[in-house]
């Protein structure tokens, strides 16, 4: 037999001593049907079925895919048996190590005596309406009616180690969310060397692996390859989820496309280092370690259907911010316009020019702080979060007052400009007062030199005093002036760490800081950033409704980066800005409209240039107004990637309102198209019988728009269109 196994894990952890597992059964719902020790997890079009083998205590997977019902045919043994034996042929929910199972183990425990064998057997289970929280970790949430949870308790009689597998089912999204905790109930210390949040074993069939790969300024490239024999995997050991590989993967049939076929998507709700592995098999005392959650989504409507389910789930059951689906103000960010070169008077001018264009949030990026070690370049100041007196002699408050007294043009008369500010709280420059007084707060491993990148070091958020320092200075900053928005940046990977488990403890510390601050300041719009998309992950999204998608602001590159990011993450979560040309990263010149249209596909639209350079461009206020008009659809709508930039020079995307009443089409031409026909773009997600008024076109049926489509031509390369559709 040949099969594929996928596993996602966050890293290694040490554990010691005892606790106990519950052994209760409770009521179930349609989402979770329990028949003896057979468990069916059901979504609108998905079934995930497994059972406990009452002889071996093993948890065996029966099915994960489209809906099934009634009895299940027995799997057959191969006609000719080889020497590998049984364990490799059984689809196991939680494969262990050391008892003849040769697939990737989902758990590896170094027992007190040093060996790495474990035998976790089914003990009991319980069904919970709703979903318990995950202590210290970000997690999906929902009420009874939205989600039901099955907890299966396992126990190893030889080592007194218990494990609970938790499966939460969100039926509306065909989503199963899993986490695992391991509890040491014995006397001695154990080490959990590997623990997968999720491990799925598929039966014999050809599968493709889709993942997101990249680097700084070129994030989220979709990669698709055949699952081959042996282990294929990726991950991050940067300490963060990273630009390099996103903690997302999908398994699809080779015939699956954007709009057809089966797809299984997996995403780890975690911001630290991680590992994702896929393998095609030859045969086919008192302490608990809780894994992060992994979300798995089943789709029978292609890769696009998978993405839409992720998006809806995340908008409703992951992102906690009140701004998850509400309008986001068009903003101007100062970074690419002026970098570190500003003071009170220049900031005021930039803000006035922004407001004159119709911008409603002005964001002062890097460079505003540092007293003894002023932040005039990236070699000083991180850690010293007081306004730079040379730039702001009277502190921050009067600057914020200057800005929030400015009236925004072309809007209701009483609307004033709002103010936002940049911080990078997890970092310190050695050139700072903070580092002089607390050198021990930076990550370090004994006598080894501390490796600097961008002239900075990482504060060790595993330390409570570091967490408290950040919570305190951020609280003071936010209380000191009328600040509506925070951009929380993080510009390097981790360096020398004091212990193997420090990365996870850092993450728990980071989540404590995020949780405290976002709970304390719920009216602030928080944006995550890590040199662009270095931490575009569901862990950050739990607290921050938007993330700066990439430091690459080139309009053409951004089409690919944003389409790629949307594989798992909702467009509502993407920060996207219109910047100057020639572009600062690529040197390319792309028309204003194209750049603006691309940026409008992100939930947080903004400008990132010197607004003085575009004061006389009449198109700019109109484009900002258009961005505001499309924003509710981008924030709440279902995204259909109609054509991909990697497949076509006419990429297109359609956002359809959840109630179907409106839609907006984004259409691009990436290269010149001389004396050659242009393709029609077929829309998706409309009602065939309904009629739609199409901007500048006429009124057509949904069937016509989906089966014939629309056609646009452009005289030059980099053409673009934003087209509204209104159901009649």
The correct pick among 422, 544, 605, 666 for binding ligand DGJ (CB under 6 A) is: 422
Q: 634: closest CA among 661, 606, 653, 648?
A: 653
Q: 211: closest CA among 330, 303, 317?
A: 303
Residue 616 among known ligand-binding residues: no
As measured in angstroms, the least distance from the Cβ of 422 to ligand DGJ is: 6
The correct pick among 531, 546, 636, 673 for binding ligand DGJ (CB under 6 A) is: 531
Residue 378 among known ligand-binding residues: no
> Which residues, other chains included, contact 652 with Cβ-Cβ below 8 Å and sequence gap of 6+?
642, 643, 665, 666, 667, 668, 681
- Which of 329, 637 has the CB closer to ligand DGJ? 329
Residue 365 among known ligand-binding residues: yes
- CA–CA separation, 421 vs 433, rounded Å? 21
> Which 168-227 residues touch ligand DGJ, going by CB under 6 A?
none
Question: Distance between terminal CA atoms of the chain?
Answer: 55
DSSP string, 583-597: -TTT-----HHHHHH
Residue 529 among known ligand-binding residues: yes
Residue 680 among known ligand-binding residues: no
- Which of 265, 560 has the CB closer to ligand DGJ? 560
- CA–CA separation, 151 vs 140, rounded Å? 16
Q: 634: closest CA among 642, 622, 626, 623?
A: 626
The yes or no reply on residue 365 touching ligand DGJ (CB under 6 A) is yes
- Which of 219, 365 has the CB closer to ligand DGJ? 365
> Which 610-669 residues touch ligand DGJ, going by CB under 6 A?
none
96 catalytic? Reply is no
Residue 53 among known ligand-binding residues: no
Which part of the chain contacts ligand DGJ (CB under 6 A), choosing from 88-96, 103-111, 341-349, 525-533? 525-533
Residue 366 among known ligand-binding residues: yes
As measured in angstroms, the least distance from the Cβ of 340 to ligand DGJ is: 8
As measured in angstroms, the least distance from the Cβ of 328 to ligand DGJ is: 17
Task: Say which of 58, 62, 537, 551 is annotated catalytic.
Answer: 551
Q: 14: closest CA among 182, 263, 262, 210?
A: 182
Give me the 533-552 binding string for ligand DGJ, x by CB under 6 A, dash otherwise.
Answer: ---------------x--x-
25 catalytic? Reply is no
DSSP string, 127-163: EEES----TTS------TTT-EEEEEEEEETTTTEEE
Residue 376 among known ligand-binding residues: no
The yes or no reply on residue 366 touching ligand DGJ (CB under 6 A) is yes
As measured in angstroms, the least distance from the Cβ of 528 to ligand DGJ is: 10
DSSP string, 526-543: EEE-BTBBTT-SHHHHHH
As measured in angstroms, the least distance from the Cβ of 346 to ligand DGJ is: 17
Token digits of residue 614: 């575009």
Residue 368 among known ligand-binding residues: no
> Which residues, other chains included, contact 676 with Cβ-Cβ below 8 Å and sequence gap of 6+?
none
- CA–CA separation, 556 vs 142, rounded Å? 38
- Which of 185, 531 has the CB closer to ligand DGJ? 531
The yes or no reply on residue 426 touching ligand DGJ (CB under 6 A) is no
The yes or no reply on residue 334 touching ligand DGJ (CB under 6 A) is no
- Which of 529, 723 has the CB closer to ligand DGJ? 529
As measured in angstroms, the least distance from the Cβ of 455 to ligand DGJ is: 11
Phi/psi of residue 655, nearest 5 degrees: -105, 125
As measured in angstroms, the least distance from the Cβ of 46 to ligand DGJ is: 37
Residue 333 among known ligand-binding residues: no
Where are the strands (E) in 53-147, listed by range?
A: 59-65, 107-110, 121-129
Helices (H), 302-343: 302-317, 335-338
The correct pick among 529, 568, 652, 654 for binding ligand DGJ (CB under 6 A) is: 529
Residue 375 among known ligand-binding residues: no
Where are the strands (E) in 300-441, listed by range?
A: 331-333, 361-364, 418-423, 427-428
The yes or no reply on residue 532 touching ligand DGJ (CB under 6 A) is yes
Q: What DSSP designation does 614 have?
A: G
> Which 439-478 residues touch ligand DGJ, going by CB under 6 A?
none
Q: Number of helices (H) and strands (E), helices first, in the chain? A: 12, 38
The SS3 call for residue 727 is strand
Would you say the C-alpha torsion 30, 36, 41, 46 has a positive or negative sign? negative
As measured in angstroms, the least distance from the Cβ of 365 to ligand DGJ is: 5
Which part of the chain contacts ligand DGJ (CB under 6 A), choosing from 14-22, 468-476, 526-534, 681-689? 526-534
Residue 728: Cβ within 10 Å count: 9
Are the CB atoms for 335 and 608 separated by under 8 Å?
Answer: yes
Residue nearest to ligand DGJ (CB): 366
- CA–CA separation, 633 vs 655, rounded Å? 6
- Which of 329, 367 has the CB closer to ligand DGJ? 367
The partner residues of 527 in beta bridges, in order of sequence, read: 487, 546
As measured in angstroms, the least distance from the Cβ of 389 to ligand DGJ is: 20
- Which of 189, 376 has the CB closer to ligand DGJ? 376
- CA–CA separation, 457 vs 445, rounded Å? 13
Which part of the chain contacts ligand DGJ (CB under 6 A), choosing from 234-242, 304-312, 528-536, 687-695? 528-536
Phi/psi of residue 155, nearest 5 degrees: -150, 140
- Which of 159, 491 has the CB closer to ligand DGJ? 491
> Which 549-568 residues touch ligand DGJ, going by CB under 6 A?
551
The correct pick among 173, 240, 335, 650 for binding ligand DGJ (CB under 6 A) is: 335
As measured in angstroms, the least distance from the Cβ of 585 to ligand DGJ is: 11
- CA–CA separation, 670 vs 598, rounded Å? 12
The SS3 call for residue 503 is helix
- Which of 46, 364 has the CB closer to ligand DGJ? 364
As measured in angstroms, the least distance from the Cβ of 333 to ligand DGJ is: 7
Are the CB atoms for 489 and 366 separated by under 8 Å?
Answer: yes
- Which of 231, 338 has the CB closer to ligand DGJ? 338
Return the axis-axis angle of helices 555-565 and 592-600, rounded to nearest 10°.
Answer: 10
> Which 25-44 residues touch ligand DGJ, going by CB under 6 A?
none
Task: Report in angstroms the alpha-carbon separations of 589 from 342, 559, 726.
Answer: 26, 15, 34
As measured in angstroms, the least distance from the Cβ of 235 to ligand DGJ is: 23
Are the CB atoms for 276 and 200 separated by under 8 Å?
Answer: no
Which part of the chain contacts ligand DGJ (CB under 6 A), choosing from 69-77, 291-299, 524-532, 561-569? 524-532
Task: Say which of 201, 489, 537, 638 is annotated catalytic.
Answer: 489
* Residue count, binding to ligand DGJ (CB under 6 A): 11
- CA–CA separation, 445 vs 458, rounded Å? 13
- CA–CA separation, 317 vs 140, rounded Å? 5
Which part of the chain contacts ligand DGJ (CB under 6 A), choosing from 348-356, 529-537, 566-574, 586-594? 529-537
Q: 308: closest CA among 653, 651, 50, 61?
A: 653
- Which of 603, 702 has the CB closer to ligand DGJ? 603
- Which of 487, 495 has the CB closer to ligand DGJ? 487
- CA–CA separation, 585 vs 498, rounded Å? 36
Annotated binding site: 216, 365-366, 454, 487-491, 529, 551
The residue ranges that bind ligand DGJ (CB under 6 A) are: 335, 365-366, 422, 489, 491, 529, 531-532, 548, 551
Please report, in range form, the residues annotated as the binding site for substrate: 216, 365-366, 454, 487-491, 529, 551
Catalytic residue numbers, as ranges: 489, 551
């Amino acid at each position: 037999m040949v099969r594929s196994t996928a596993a996602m894990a966050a890293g290694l952890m040490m554990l010691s001593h005892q606790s106990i597992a519950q052994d209760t059964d409770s009521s179930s719902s349609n989402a979770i049907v329990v028949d003896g020790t057979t468990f069916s997890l059901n979504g609108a079009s998905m079934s995930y079925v497994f059972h406990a083998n009452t002889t071996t205590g093993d948890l065996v997977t029966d099915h994960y895919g489209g809906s099934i019902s009634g009895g299940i045919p027995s799997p057959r043994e191969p006609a000719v048996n080889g020497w590998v034996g049984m364990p490799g042929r059984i689809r196991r929910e939680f494969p262990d190590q050391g008892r003849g199972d040769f697939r990737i183990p989902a758990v590896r425990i170094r027992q007190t005596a040093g060996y790495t064998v474990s035998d976790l057997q089914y003990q009991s289970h319980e069904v919970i309406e709703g979903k318990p929280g995950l202590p210290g970790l970000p997690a999906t949430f929902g009420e009874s009616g939205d989600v039901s949870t099955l907890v299966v308790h396992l126990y190893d009689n030889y080592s007194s180690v218990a494990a609970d597998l938790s499966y939460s089912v969100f039926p509306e999204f065909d989503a199963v969310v899993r986490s695992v905790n391991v509890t040491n109930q014995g006397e001695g210390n154990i080490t959990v060397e590997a623990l997968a949040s999720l491990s799925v074993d598929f039966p014999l069939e050809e599968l493709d692996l889709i993942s997101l790969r990249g680097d700084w300024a070129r994030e989220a490239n979709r990669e698709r390859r055949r699952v081959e024999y042996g282990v294929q995997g990726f991950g991050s050991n940067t300490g963060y989820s990273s630009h390099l590989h996103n903690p997302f993967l999908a398994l699809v049939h080779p015939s699956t496309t954007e709009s057809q076929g089966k797809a299984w998507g997996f995403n780890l709700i975690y911001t630290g280092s991680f590992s994702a592995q896929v393998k095609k098999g030859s045969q086919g005392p008192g302490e608990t370690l809780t894994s992060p959650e992994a979300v798995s989504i089943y789709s029978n409507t292609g890769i696009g259907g998978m993405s839409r389910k992720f998006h809806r789930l995340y908008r409703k059951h992951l992102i906690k911010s009140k701004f998850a689906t509400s309008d986001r103000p068009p903003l101007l960010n100062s970074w690419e316009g002026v970098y570190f070169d500003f003071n009170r008077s220049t900031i005021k001018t930039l803000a006035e020019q922004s407001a004159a264009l119709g911008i409603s949030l002005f964001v002062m990026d890097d460079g505003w702080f540092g007293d003894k070690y002023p932040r005039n370049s990236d070699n000083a100041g991180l850690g010293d979060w007081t306004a730079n007196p040379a730039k702001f002699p009277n502190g921050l408050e009067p600057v914020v007052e200057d800005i929030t007294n400015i009236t925004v043009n072309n809007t209701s008369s009483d609307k004033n400009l709002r103010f936002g500010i940049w911080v990078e709280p997890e970092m310190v420059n050695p050139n700072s007062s903070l580092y002089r007084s607390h050198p021990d707060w930076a990550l370090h491993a004994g006598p080894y030199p501390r490796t600097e990148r961008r002239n900075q070091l990482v504060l060790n958020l595993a330390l409570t005093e570091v967490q408290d320092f950040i919570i305190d200075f951020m609280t003071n900053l936010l209380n000191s002036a009328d600040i509506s928005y925070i951009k929380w940046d993080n510009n390097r990977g981790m360096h020398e760490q004091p212990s193997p488990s420090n990365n996870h403890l850092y993450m728990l510390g980071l989540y404590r800081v995020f949780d405290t601050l976002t709970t304390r300041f719920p009216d602030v719009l928080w944006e995550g950033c890590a040199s662009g998309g270095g931490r575009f992950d569901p862990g950050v999204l739990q607290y921050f409704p938007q993330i700066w998608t990439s430091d690459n602001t080139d309009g053409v590159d951004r089409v690919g980066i944003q389409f790629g990011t949307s594989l798992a993450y909702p467009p509502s979560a993407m920060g996207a800005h219109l910047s100057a040309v020639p572009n600062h990263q690529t040197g390319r010149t792309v028309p204003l409209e194209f750049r603006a249209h691309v940026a409008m596909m992100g939930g947080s639209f903004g400008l990132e240039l010197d607004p003085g350079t575009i004061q006389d461009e009449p198109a700019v206020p109109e484009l900002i107004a258009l961005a505001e008009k499309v924003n509710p659809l981008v924030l709440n709508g279902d995204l259909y990637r109609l054509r991909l930039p990697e497949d076509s020079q006419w990429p297109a995307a359609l956002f359809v309102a959840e109630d179907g009443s409106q839609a907006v089409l984004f259409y691009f031409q990436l290269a010149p198209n001389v004396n050659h026909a242009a393709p029609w773009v077929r829309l998706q997600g409309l009602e065939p019988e309904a009629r739609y008024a199409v901007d500048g076109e006429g009124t057509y049926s949904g069937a016509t728009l989906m089966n014939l489509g629309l056609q646009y031509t452009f005289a030059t390369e980099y053409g673009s269109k934003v087209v509204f559709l209104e159901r009649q």
